[in-house]
Structure formats: C-alpha cells, structure tokens
Amino acid sequence: MKFHNRECCFLCWGTSGCPLLIFLFCGIANCRSIQRIKECDITCSQGVQCERKQPDDLFSRFCRDAPESLNPNVLENMKITTVMKCSPASQCSLHLNIIGTVIYDVHIRGVEICSMTLSSQRTQCVTIRFTKIKRKKFLMHKIQVQANTFEVGVSEQVYVTMKTFPDFCGIQLTETYYVEDCNNRDVGKHVWSCLTGKLDYMVNKENKIITVNVSNILQDYDYNVRLCKKHFVCHDIGAHAVIRKENATKSVTLPYSEILPCLCIEGWSAIPDARRTRLCPFKNDISTLWDNIAYNPMKQVLAWVPLCPVNAKVHLCWMTDDKQKCVNIPDSLSAAHNQVSYSQVDTHPRLCMKFATETGYWVKCPFPTGPFSAWDMKTYLMPNSMEIKLTSPTKAKFSVFICNRTNFNSCEPLQKYTLVYVEALETVTLNMSREICGSNICIQGIREDVNYSFPTQICDIPCISQDPESKEDNFLQMIIVTAVQVLSAVIFTYIGYKIFKVCHQKREQKRLLKSQVKEMSEIASSLEQMTLLSTKAEGDR
C-alpha cells in the first residue's frame, strides 16, 4: 500500500514503525491523497499509438470464440485508482484511472474497459484501439493502456471489467472498486459534493423554534435549510428556509411543533443533486414517543401510532397495588412497526401499555383515574361467608372465582367461575363461602366482555375462626361472659350469704324470708336476661 499524503506522513519519515504510525495517526484510507489530472484521456505505453474508438452498438456486442493460438492470459492485470479533476472554481470531480496490462498478440486490436456504478447502474465504456502498431516488434510484449475517463461519485461502489477488442469469449478481467468518501481529507476538502456545510443549532422551547447556523458552505450558491422527519427518507414538515449567497449572516430560524427523536435538520447547497448534510440532534430522546396513545370508545380500540420509527416491544400490562410493577397481560405482545392496536380493552386506569426498547422501558396508562372511572370489586366479611360487591361505570360482565396464588403472577382457580352482569353504575352483591381460606387464597374478578382485562385480586381470605374481626368479637364476648360470671358469682355469694343468714337466724320472720326469696328470684331473672342478651349479641355478629 502506498501513502502519498505529506500532511499525514512526514511524521514518520525515517522511523522504522512508519506504517503503524500512519495507521495510528490518520487511518489508512482517509490519508490517501488523490492524484490530480488536467484532462480526461487515454494513453498507451511503449510508444504504441492508440485512439478512442466509438463503442459498437449494443446488438453487435456479442463475444466471439477466441483463436486457439491466443494465450488466454493476454490481459495480464488491471490497476484502479481514483483521480481528481479540478476546475478553476476550485471544485473537483472524481474519476477512475484504470491501467491495464496486455500481452500483445496479433489477434488483438485493442481493449475495452467498462465501469458500472452499482448504486446508479450507470455504465461507462471506453474502447482503446491500437493504431499503426508494428506487429512483429510488439508480439508478446507488454503494453499498458490507461484511461481516466470514468467519472464517479464520492463513496460509490464500481464494478470494472476489461476485455479484449475484438471481444473474445472468456477473456476478461473484473474488479470491484470502492471510491473514497468525504472522510478522505483530499476528497472532503475539494469535491463539491462533500462541501455540504456544517450545521449548528439552538432550540428555543418556549417559542418552539430552532435557530440554525451554517458554515463551511460553497460561497457561490444559495443554501437551503429545512426540518424534516426521518422515516426511511426524511419527510418535509413544512419548515424550510433559504440563505441567499449574498447574505452575510448564515443563519435561519425554523418553527417546529414537537421535539421528536426523528426530527432532523438538513442543509444543502442550491445545486442540482447536491449532497445534504443532516443532523438529528434529538435522536436519543425517545421518551416522547410513547405519548401518542388513543382510545376509540366507539370501536373500543386502544391504539398507539409511533411518530418516529422505533424498535420496541409493546405489551398491555396491569399496574400492581404499590404501582411498582406493571405485570404483562398474556398474549398482548406486539412489535412496533406502523401502529399497535388492541381491540376490546378494559378501560381500567390500572390497565397500561408497556414499551420496551434496548435502552429501557416505559409504562403509559391511558385511562383516566377518577372516582367513577374504574370498575371495582370489594369484599366484606360476614360471620360464615363473604360478601363481594361489584360496581362498574359501564355495563360489564365479570367472572369472579376463588383461586390459589401459587406465585406472584398466577392464581390457580379452585372453584367454578361465577358470571356476574353489572349494569352501568349499579352494584351487584355476591355471597361467597369462606370454607377455603388462607393467606394465598384470593378472590379474583376479571372482565369477561373484553379481550384484555385488568384482574382485581383480593387475597388473604381469613378463615372463619381466625379472622381479626371475630377475634375482636370473641374478646367482647369474653368480657361479657366474664362480667356475667363475676356478676353471677357475686350474686350467688350474696344469695348464699342471705340463705346462710336466714338459716342461722331462724328467729327471722316468715315474712322476711318471703321477701328475700322474691328478691332472689328477681336477681335470677335479670341474670337470665343478661345471658340472653350476650347470646343475642353473639348471634348478630
């Protein structure tokens, strides 16, 4: 590999580690300087005269069988380099310089070289004919033919073929060549299509404008600046301005409606097919992409349309009670291409959309939170059962069942589903047994009349004997019973004492005894009443 560029290479002249240094300092391809040419022409070496022949028309260009005496390697090799042709206005164009080596044979009257640009399919051919060649003198001699008439663009991929003239079948050389791009210093500085301008910008979020300053542009041309939205190509969004070449201030102000990751600034000189320079300053700011969610209540469709192309996985999910986690709803995965839509979605405030990209994930909950926006399931403990109350802002159908929570996400149904129809703004009450109970036993309610539903789950169903409220009751009962017992002890002690006193004091009159008995029976009946009361309280609970 040859290095010509002085700017890059003078550093290492005289040092033994030259190639490595060059590589370190400038990278191989970007340093190569491009040879200048004044004219496009063809030449032949060794004093052989040659001329450019007009190519034959396409139909007569079939190959013919090669004579047996012809060496199949008459075309020895082909070397391709890029050259630059510059006009006085300091604008340069790029050309391929192709040098082919031919071993002369009497059957060969010249060579044909063609280049095809893969991106544009543009084909350029040159036929070089030897004229007045002294056949005997040059037989078996190597002749170099050279042509630099092939105009190419920056960073193009070109397919080059060299054939004999006339065209003998099977004898040809081919090569694929890559033209330098604007990163090559020489090309970047001198080829006009690389002089695309440098853009600097400032965003004014308050007034929603972007001010763009341009530099490094072609002096003799107007310059265009626009804002665009990049999908496959950059689409115009109506913000466009021209900086006139006579303007001293090379700056424009363009309005925008939204900062999006695909919002780009483009600049280009006002010349046909000018290369554009493009800057997409917000491309990492993808958090704005997830806001574009819409719900159509008529069609019951929840849709998200990406405003910029983005690789994202989309799920519907439901938010946990602590709002720390959004649990994916099974079978709701979609990939973001044009749009993602879900039909028949529960409009619950805790039903959300989750977007995952390589850089992170975002959760958006499109349904409003409010006192009457969500359906609800509540449980009330009864002594031997449980009341479940379902309310809904819209007409809905639910299934309610008891399940066994085996892990965070799954709850295995233990019971047949009960279908419940709830009219708008109505409450429906269900009575469920509490025979199955425990900390992992849950009551789950889910909407059945939609495809994607938020599951409500109420767990830790208390067992009949252990529930905290009944403990309280037991405590109260215990107090009442204890009080009754204490009271009866007191009363019986009193009665006992009275009887003892009566027995002891036989002299007491019969009348007195009578009144004592009456008093005793009164107390006993009040005691009976009290016990009844306590049993009743127990029954009410």
Question: Rule CB under 6 A: which residues touch ligand NAG?
Answer: 343-344, 384-385, 404, 406, 414, 431, 433, 436, 451
Q: Tell me if 264 sits within 8 A of 234, measured CB to CB.
A: yes
Minimum CB–partner distance for residue 405 and ligand NAG (Å):
8
Burial class for 517, CB neighbours closer than 10 Å (0-12, 13-18, 19+): middle
Minimum CB–partner distance for residue 285 and ligand NAG (Å):
34
Q: Is the dihedral of CA 323, 324, 330, 335 positive or negative?
A: positive
Minimum CB–partner distance for residue 447 and ligand NAG (Å):
12
Q: Could you give the dihedral angle defined by the CA atoms of residues 117, 118, 121 and 123, in that order, rounded to the nearest 10 degrees?
A: 30
**Distances in Å between the alpha carbon of 154 and those of 240, 334, 361?**
27, 41, 40
| Residue linked to tokens 């602590």 | 322
Half-sphere exposure of 500 (CA within 13 A, CB side): 6
Q: Tell me the β-bridge partners of 115.
A: 124, 160
Question: Crossing angle for the helix pair 468-504 and 510-540, nearest 10 degrees?
Answer: 170
- Which secondary-structure segment (H or E) carries 339? none
Q: Which is nearer to ligand NAG, 229 or 405 (CB)?
A: 405
Q: Which is nearer to ligand NAG, 404 or 516 (CB)?
A: 404
For 290, phi then psi, to 5°, come to -95, 5
Minimum CB–partner distance for residue 521 and ligand NAG (Å):
39
Q: Which is nearer to ligand NAG, 301 or 530 (CB)?
A: 301
Minimum CB–partner distance for residue 335 and ligand NAG (Å):
17
Q: Which is nearer to ligand NAG, 165 or 454 (CB)?
A: 454
Minimum CB–partner distance for residue 421 and ligand NAG (Å):
17
Q: Tell me the β-bridge partners of 167.
A: none
How many Å apart are CA 395 and CA 375, to the nearest integer?
10
* Cα Rg, the chain, nearest whole Å: 47
Q: Which is nearer to ligand NAG, 274 or 400 (CB)?
A: 400
Q: Which is nearer to ligand NAG, 176 or 343 (CB)?
A: 343
Minimum CB–partner distance for residue 322 and ligand NAG (Å):
24
Q: Which is nearer to ligand NAG, 320 or 410 (CB)?
A: 410
Q: Which is nearer to ligand NAG, 222 or 538 (CB)?
A: 538
In which order are the strands placed within the sheet that holds 251-255? 198-204, 209-215, 251-255
Q: Which is nearer to ligand NAG, 382 or 486 (CB)?
A: 382
Of residues 406, 389, 408, 386, the one with CA closest to residue 398: 389
Q: Tell me if 267 sits within 8 A of 273, measured CB to CB.
A: no
Q: Tell me if 495 sits within 8 A of 522, measured CB to CB.
A: no
Minimum CB–partner distance for residue 420 and ligand NAG (Å):
15
How many Å apart are CA 74 and CA 166, to the nearest integer?
13
Minimum CB–partner distance for residue 457 and ligand NAG (Å):
15
SS3 129: strand
Q: Which is nearer to ligand NAG, 172 or 440 (CB)?
A: 440
Of residues 240, 273, 274, the one with CA closest to residue 254: 240
Q: Which is nearer to ligand NAG, 384 or 529 (CB)?
A: 384
Q: Which two tokens stand for residue 429?
A: 């009450």
Minimum CB–partner distance for residue 406 and ligand NAG (Å):
5
Minimum CB–partner distance for residue 203 and ligand NAG (Å):
43
Q: Which is nearer to ligand NAG, 76 or 449 (CB)?
A: 449
| 438-447 vs 396-405, strand pairing mode | antiparallel
**Cis preceding-peptide flag for 368 (omega within 30 of 0):** no
Minimum CB–partner distance for residue 317 and ligand NAG (Å):
16
Minimum CB–partner distance for residue 386 and ligand NAG (Å):
8
Q: Which is nearer to ligand NAG, 98 or 450 (CB)?
A: 450
Of residues 409, 410, 325, the one with CA closest to residue 361: 325
Q: Which two tokens stand for residue 89?
A: 């206005």
